[in-house]
Amino acid sequence: MTDIAQNSQSKLEALNQWVLEVARLTRPDRIHWCDGSDAENEALIQAMQADGTLIKLNEDTHPNSYLHRSHPDDVARVEHLTFVCTTNRDDAGPNNHWMAPELARQQMDSLFEGCMEGRTMYVVPYCMGPIDSPLSRCGVEITDSAYVVANMRIMTRMGAPALARIERDGSYVKGLHSTGDLNPDRRFIMHFPEELEIQSFGSGYGGNALLGKKCHALRIASHQAQSEGWLAEHMLILGIENPKGDKHYIAAAFPSACGKTNLAMLIPPEGYVRDGWKITTIGDDICWMRPGADGRLYAINPEAGFFGVAPGTSEKSNPNALASLQRDAIFTNVAVTDDNQPWWEGLDKRVPAIDWRGNVYDFNAGKPAAHPNSRFTVSAKQCPSYSPMAEDPQGVPISAIVFGGRRASLVPLVFEARDWTHGVLVGAAMGSETTAAATGAVGVMRRDPMAMKPFCGYNFADYFAHWLSFDQANAKLPKVFHVNWFRKGDAGDFLWPGFGDNMRVLEWMLKRVAGEVDSQETPIGHLPKIEDVNLEGVELSQEAREKLFGYDREGWRHEFASIGEYLDEYGPRMPEALKDEQKATARSLG
Ligand code: OXD
Ligand code: MN
């Protein structure tokens, strides 16, 4: 405990006290304060190779890259075991599992008691966002997992600079994590937003264990943002530059594993590249936004890395991601080829040798070789499209906000909200089919407002009211759009090519932002006139044209009845303005 003594006289006294308290409860053999240095990382990687936590991948093809195989019962977020522990149950809302803070603390104390015996306790100071940004916020994660430390080092600004900022600010989110015995029956992810605290036990999986990510940057931050007048959102941020050199930034919310990473790193179709269009990446998962002095919303990506879904990532779907993964990456639960390269379904035609559990892969068994939620962790700076603006302390001004879900039927390719209130309704009404990013059934349609169902740290009714409150007299708010890349035809095939071709939809949005084209006005919003979307080189069947660019009044009538019922589930806290907007649309649908 000698390192602690060094800090004990400093302004970090309260932090030291908390670390000692946690050590008394969890009884680690050693305490290590992480400085984030290369030497520290190398030592951790070596130790993890020695104890089997990491397996070195092919050094020639993937230098300094490692594979981690998790416990097979610990492969995704656990929404049913994730709680928001506010004093009043209604503040957490029907969108969250709730537990009384005292009960939750008692329960967690008994799990944490002695859980680090024989282990090292790592103290990980981190900053979410550029170290010198007024929009950034810090945290300290205490963990007994070296894998978590190595991932936090990639995903956040971790170590000495973060500790220095904590010393300056004096405030930080306290996160306590232990993998425990990885028993799913002794697994809980608890949030105490009123005390800016997180406690996570029994899982080493990213979304449950890298506390800077979902727990801090979304659940705790959304709560904090509500009282401080900003927004913490499950959104990618991309930059788009047209041939004239005009730059715009777009923030887009999609549920987990619905293509945020692919869209954030999009490479435009050939014709666009030739004409001088360019996409740059600010972030692929989380966006913190606040109004600037000019009334526009300014956004930062609080993360420093990508924790992306591996399956489906290929030269076709996301060449920038593949280029990022050529070195210095951690892969979790992917398969490996016979020459020890990482492999996953959709990457290429090779047949892997070993599956994600470490067994010889049996092609004929018909099971995926990589886990469907297998992941890569890599520094954002390795991405060829990464924008230096991601490091700008002021953030980037947002011209358009995009909501989108995975909807096989009904929802057209793109439409624009009439105004901000309608845009909030469009976000609130979002639905999507569930994916492997969380445990539970896959492919079930559920409401996932603003893609925040698993991540909003307070009552959705209050969250929608908070969104509505940005519509001030001096505000210059972004336009709001909804997209659906996943519409299927009667034969069950996807109707839109997606990936790079999504550029065509982004271009239409920018034309709308610039007031260059008009639209078809419908009760659900403004749909593009098909001739205003550049479809050169895209072959669309008649069915695709009708379904992607048309709207089915009868189907939307049912949808709006269901949206009305959904809003009513929140009772009297649901803002009247949102209910009125829903009713007005329902009426105009007849
Ligand atoms: C993620 C998720 O890991 O949303 O980003 O599950
Ligand atoms: Mn996510």
Q: What is the pLDDT of residue 11?
A: 67
pLDDT bracket for residue 331 (50, 70, 90): very high
Closest residue by Cα to atom 4, ligand 1, is 256
Nearest atom, ligand 1, residue 260 CA: 5
Residue type, 506: L
If you measure from the C-alpha of residue 234 to the centroid of ligand 2, how many angstroms do you get, rounded to a whole number? 6
Q: Which residues line ligand 1 (CB under 6 A)?
A: 77, 206-207, 256, 285, 307, 437
If you measure from the C-alpha of residue 419 to the centroid of ligand 1, how many angstroms do you get, rounded to a whole number? 29
Report, as residue numbers or ranges, the catalytic residues. Answer: 258
Average pLDDT over every residue of 223-237: 98
Query: Does residue 553 carry a pLDDT above 80?
Result: yes
What are the CB-based long-range contacts (under 8 Å, 24+) for 426-429?
A: 426/480, 426/482, 426/525, 427/253, 427/401, 427/403, 427/467, 427/480, 428/460, 428/464, 428/563, 428/567, 428/578, 429/559, 429/563, 429/566, 429/582
Which ligand has the minimum distance to the alpha carbon of residue 82? Answer: 1
Residue 285 marked as a ligand binder: yes
Higher pLDDT, 495 or 1: 495
Q: What is the pLDDT of residue 445?
A: 87
Q: What is the pLDDT of residue 443?
A: 87
Query: Token pair of 548, please?
Result: 């992607």
Residue 206 marked as a ligand binder: yes
pLDDT bracket for residue 7 (50, 70, 90): very low
If you measure from the C-alpha of residue 67 to the centroid of ligand 1, how many angstroms do you get, rounded to a whole number? 19
If you measure from the C-alpha of residue 246 to the centroid of ligand 1, how many angstroms do you get, rounded to a whole number? 31
The pick from 77, 205, 284 for probing ligand 1's pocket by mutation, whose C-beta has the most ligand atoms within 8 angstroms, reads 77
Strand positions, DSSP E, 337-430: 342-343, 375-379, 396-404, 414-416
402 and 483 Cβ atoms separated by less than 8 Å: yes
Task: Report all structural domains of the chain as residue ranges with CATH numbers, in order of start.
Answer: 3-53+78-228 (3.40.449.10), 232-276+288-300+390-588 (3.90.228.20)
Alpha-carbon span 283 to 238, nearest angstrom? 7
Residue 395 marked as a ligand binder: no
Nearest atom, ligand 1, residue 437 CA: 6
404 and 484 Cβ atoms separated by less than 8 Å: yes
DSSP string, 40-103: HHHHHHHHHHHTTS-EE--TTTSTT-EEE---TT-SSB-GGGEEE--SSHHHH-TTSEE--HHH
**pTM assigned to the model:** 0.97
Query: Does residue 546 carry a pLDDT above 50?
Result: yes
Residue 260 marked as a ligand binder: yes
Query: Does residue 153 carry a pLDDT above 80?
Result: yes
Nearest atom, ligand 1, residue 234 CA: 4
| Sign of the alpha-carbon dihedral angle for 380, 314, 73, 441 | positive
Summarize pLDDT for 258-312 with one digit per residue, the tens.
999 999 999 999 999 999 999 999 999 999 999 999 999 999 999 999 999 999 9
CB atoms within 10 A of CB 523: 17
If you measure from the C-alpha of residue 590 to the centroid of ligand 2, how many angstroms do you get, rounded to a whole number? 37
173 and 137 Cβ atoms separated by less than 8 Å: yes
What 3-state DSSP class applies to 382?
helix
Average pLDDT over every residue of 544-548: 98
The pick from 256, 284, 378 for probing ligand 1's pocket by mutation, whose C-beta has the most ligand atoms within 8 angstroms, reads 256
